[in-house]
Amino acid sequence: MTEPIRRATADDAPACAAILNAWIDGTDWMPRTISPDAIETALREGLPKREAYVVGDPIAGYLSLDPAENHIWGLYVGRPGQGLGKALLDRAKTGRSYLKLNSHAANKAAHRFYAREAFQPTGAPWQGNDGIPEITFEWRA
């Protein structure tokens, strides 16, 4: 993976929103519970408040985490299977001994990816804010 990784800014919100919106629209089990414009607005406001990274030029993926809780709130790539998600996760792991994230229970491809990255599920599925069951995963160095 030779794509550049850098800190995300509010100006990256349109590209990050396009990746997330494409994932929502291309995932049959994922309901559209928030408009594309609202996602972009949330990212424009949220990216600068978190430790967030983008990969690629043009942007091909992003990761957003709360450093106080070591909680990854979003990891999305537009080109799965090319090492972009791994590169973003490796960046998030740097200097940390613990990370956690939530993943939709139906997202089996993500679960396989997280397992390869040494994340472990930490309990039974629970109801997410979007009405879809989620599973919490944790990684420890």
pTM score:
0.93
Q: Between the CA atoms of 121, 141, 63 and 26, what dihedral angle is there, to the nearest 10 degrees?
A: -30
Q: What are phi and psi of 56, to 5 degrees?
A: 95, 160
- pLDDT single digits (tens) 24-39: 999 999 989 999 999 9
| Structural domains of the chain ordered from first start | 5-140 (3.40.630.30)
Query: How deeply is 26 buried, as exposed, middle or buried, from its count of CB atoms within 10 A (0-12, 13-18, 19+)?
Result: exposed
- Full DSSP string of 61-119: EEEEEETTTTEEEEEEESSTTSSHHHHHHHHHHTT-SEEEEEEETT-HHHHHHHHHTT-
- pLDDT single digits (tens) 27-85: 999 989 999 999 999 999 999 999 999 999 999 999 999 999 999 999 999 989 999 99
- Mean pLDDT computed over every residue of the chain: 95
| Cβ contact 5:87 at 8 Å | yes
